[in-house]
């Protein structure tokens, strides 16, 4: 997608910060390279994107986080990754780069105690540190410390061939491998002006919806499991497994890693693919309604999810929270709709939105999105155009491109600059979790410690996608 890009002076840069502060703009991303700060913003409510670039004198730039808190962690990462200093930032602690003591924010008062958790957690999950300050059972403050799975993807991208960069993009967050590969590929194609064959676009949407289905089933079951309701977990786990097996039958990989590549898809839909998918849809349509019923009518389960971990619509809007986190708190945004990309403009689907903002609402949005994804898969199977699924992408730079793609947990932003030799000069990938992690800190406040797993799972933020 080719959005307007401009080089701005200090006034215009700070003015953008003011407009973010006032809510006229939403922050899409903020990133840097030595000597230059970049920002992507979206107009409200038109969802029009634009890219701003600020030439940093002596690697300094005026802090956006000073005016707009969602930018703070991104600015801390900019210093760790590109050596840029944000002038006037309210928080100058390192973020992705560890080493040395780390001062946590204070929480003061009588009878408060701290509970440090992680980085190694009790379950099979990614590492991160949570510092709870509690008054008895009630959480007074949660502070996250992330960066444990920082792999240096930004640096590995710089100088990589497009093939290698695509492999890396597909491994930023394994649960969103299709989403990332798609965002990366669309950004590359936008940079190089490549026209992807129609069939490839439809197959990409098919893979993306399968990924959404698999993750939503996993999450719905896991949230219930954290309320000790294991029959939902077992039943949803079975459905998730069937989605992964169907994905494997269609595209030769259970998570569909490396199936989406610049220029199209690596493989066409396997011969038995359509039959597998129709069987899958049939299975889900038979089994899922009784699970929804079970969820809705089990008072002891609803007692745990309703009114727990409420995220206010105002915060969701301020942080431009994507995915089910935003849509469960009244933020009507779905990148498939606006800015939108093919083939979703030719497909019928609804974007469910509720206002409640609690764990129940985040589960409920996922339940409704399952139904939407099933309907989308049916439409894709019915209208899949014939033809090639890949065109060679001539990698002649210099060129820049960007993309915003709706992964299962929210909008994934990708920006790439390709050099004259066809190699990646710089690539920035922004996970939706960047704007969801801070909101988890807000949502848990005033809840009991024992409800944290439930709240955390209902957000299901990516550690790897965030830590890069």
Partner 1 sequence: MTSRLLLRNFVRGPLTEAAPAADDAALAELAARVNQASRARLGRTLSIREVDAGSCNGCELEIHALNNVLYDLERFGLRFVASPRHADVLLVTGPVTANMREALERTYHATPDPKWVVAVGDCARNGGVFAGSAACVGGVSAVLPVDLHIPGCPPSPSALLKGLLALLESVST
Residues that bind partner 1 (CB under 8 A): 98, 119-120, 122-127, 147-153, 155-156, 164, 167-168, 171-175, 177, 218, 231, 234-235, 237-238, 240-241, 244, 254-255, 257, 290, 293-294, 297-298, 462-464
Of the two residues 175 and 189, which places its CB atom closer to partner 1 in the complex? 175
- DSSP states of 427-465: EEEE-THHHHHHHHHHHHTTSBGGGHHHHHHHH---SHH
CB of 97 vs partner 1, minimal distance in Å: 8
Of the two residues 63 and 436, which places its CB atom closer to partner 1 in the complex? 436
Of the two residues 99 and 386, which places its CB atom closer to partner 1 in the complex? 99
For residue 45, whether the previous peptide bond is cis, meaning omega lies within 30 degrees of 0, is yes
* Interatomic CA distance for residues 258 and 441, integer angstroms: 34
What's 390's DSSP letter?
B
What's 340's DSSP letter?
I
The count of other CB atoms within 10 Å of the CB of residue 202 is: 22
CB of 147 vs partner 1, minimal distance in Å: 6
For residue 4, whether the previous peptide bond is cis, meaning omega lies within 30 degrees of 0, is no
Closest CA to 432 of 88, 172, 75: 172
CB of 251 vs partner 1, minimal distance in Å: 14
CB of 224 vs partner 1, minimal distance in Å: 12
CB of 270 vs partner 1, minimal distance in Å: 17
User: If you search the block for the tokens 């204070």, which residue do you land on?
Assistant: 106
Of the two residues 3 and 31, which places its CB atom closer to partner 1 in the complex? 31
Beta-carbon contacts of residue 384 (< 8 Å; ≥ 6 apart):
199, 202, 203, 206, 269
Contact 321, 410 (CB under 8 A): yes
> Measuring CA to CA, how many Å separate 433 from each of 72, 173, 180, 437?
14, 11, 13, 6
Of the two residues 36 and 156, which places its CB atom closer to partner 1 in the complex? 156
Of the two residues 202 and 295, which places its CB atom closer to partner 1 in the complex? 295
CB of 47 vs partner 1, minimal distance in Å: 29
> Measuring CA to CA, how many Å separate 168 from each of 165, 172, 175, 389, 418?
5, 7, 14, 22, 16
Of the two residues 164 and 302, which places its CB atom closer to partner 1 in the complex? 164
Q: How far apart are the first and last CA of the chain?
A: 23
The residues facing 415 across adjacent strands are 402, 428
Range 204-223 burial, b when 16+ CB lie within 10 A, else e: bbbbbbbbbbbbbbbbbbbb
Strand order in the sheet with 424-430: 399-407, 410-418, 424-430
CB of 401 vs partner 1, minimal distance in Å: 22
CB of 358 vs partner 1, minimal distance in Å: 23
CB of 368 vs partner 1, minimal distance in Å: 20
* Interatomic CA distance for residues 337 and 406, integer angstroms: 9
Of the two residues 19 and 171, which places its CB atom closer to partner 1 in the complex? 171
CB of 201 vs partner 1, minimal distance in Å: 25
Of the two residues 148 and 349, which places its CB atom closer to partner 1 in the complex? 148
CB of 156 vs partner 1, minimal distance in Å: 5
Strand order in the sheet with 138-145: 112-117, 129-135, 138-145
> Measuring CA to CA, how many Å separate 422 from each of 188, 190, 197, 395, 399?
11, 14, 22, 4, 9
Of the two residues 202 and 463, which places its CB atom closer to partner 1 in the complex? 463
Of the two residues 154 and 369, which places its CB atom closer to partner 1 in the complex? 154
């Amino acid at each position: 997608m080719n959005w307007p890009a401009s080089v701005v002076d200090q006034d215009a840069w700070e003015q953008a910060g003011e407009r973010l502060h006032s809510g006229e703009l939403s922050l899409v991303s903020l990133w840097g390279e030595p000597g230059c700060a970049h920002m992507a913003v979206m107009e409200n409510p038109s969802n029009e994107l634009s890219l701003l670039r600020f030439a940093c004198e002596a690697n300094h730039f005026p802090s956006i986080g000073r005016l707009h808190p969602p930018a703070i962690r991104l600015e801390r990462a900019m210093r760790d990754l590109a050596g840029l200093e944000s002038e006037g930032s309210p928080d100058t602690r390192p973020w992705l780069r560890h080493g040395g003591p780390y001062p946590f924010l204070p929480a003061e008062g009588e009878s408060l105690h701290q509970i440090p958790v992680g980085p190694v957690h009790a379950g099979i999950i990614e590492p991160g540190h949570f510092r709870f300050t509690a008054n008895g059972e009630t959480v007074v403050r949660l502070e996250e410390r992330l960066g444990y799975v920082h792999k240096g993807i930004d640096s590995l991208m710089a100088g990589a061939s497009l093939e290698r960069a695509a492999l890396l993009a597909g491994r930023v967050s394994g649960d969103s491998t299709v989403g990332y590969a798609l965002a990366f590929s669309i950004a590359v194609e936008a940079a190089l002006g490549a026209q992807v064959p129609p069939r490839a676009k439809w197959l990409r949407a098919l893979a993306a919806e399968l990924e959404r289905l698999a993750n939503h089933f996993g999450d719905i079951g896991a949230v219930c499991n954290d309320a000790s309701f294991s029959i939902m977990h077992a039943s949803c786990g079975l459905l998730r497994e069937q989605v992964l097996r169907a994905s494997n039958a269609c595209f030769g990989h259970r998570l569909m890693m490396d199936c989406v590549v610049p220029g199209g898809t690596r493989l066409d839909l396997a011969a038995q693919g359509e039959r597998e998918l129709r069987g899958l849809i049939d299975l889900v349509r038979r089994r899922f309604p009784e699970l929804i019923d079970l969820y809705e009518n089990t008072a002891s389960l609803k007692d745990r999810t309703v009114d727990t971990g409420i995220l206010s619509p105002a915060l969701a809007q301020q942080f431009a929270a994507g995915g089910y986190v935003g849509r469960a708190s009244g933020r009507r945004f779905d990148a498939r709709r606006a800015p939108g990309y093919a083939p979703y403009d030719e497909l019928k689907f609804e974007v469910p939105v509720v206002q409640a903002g609690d764990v129940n609402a985040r589960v409920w949005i996922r339940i409704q999105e399952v139904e939407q994804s099933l309907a989308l898969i049916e439409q894709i199977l019915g209208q899949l155009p014939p033809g090639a699924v890949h065109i060679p992408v001539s990698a002649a730079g210099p060129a820049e491109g960007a993309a915003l793609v709706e992964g299962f947990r929210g909008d994934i932003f990708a920006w790439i600059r390709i050099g004259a030799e066809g190699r990646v000069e710089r690539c920035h990938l922004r996970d939706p979790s960047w704007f969801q992690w801070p909101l988890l800190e807000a949502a848990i406040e005033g809840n009991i410690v024992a409800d944290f797993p439930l709240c955390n799972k209902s957000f299901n933020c990516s550690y790897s996608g965030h830590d890069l």
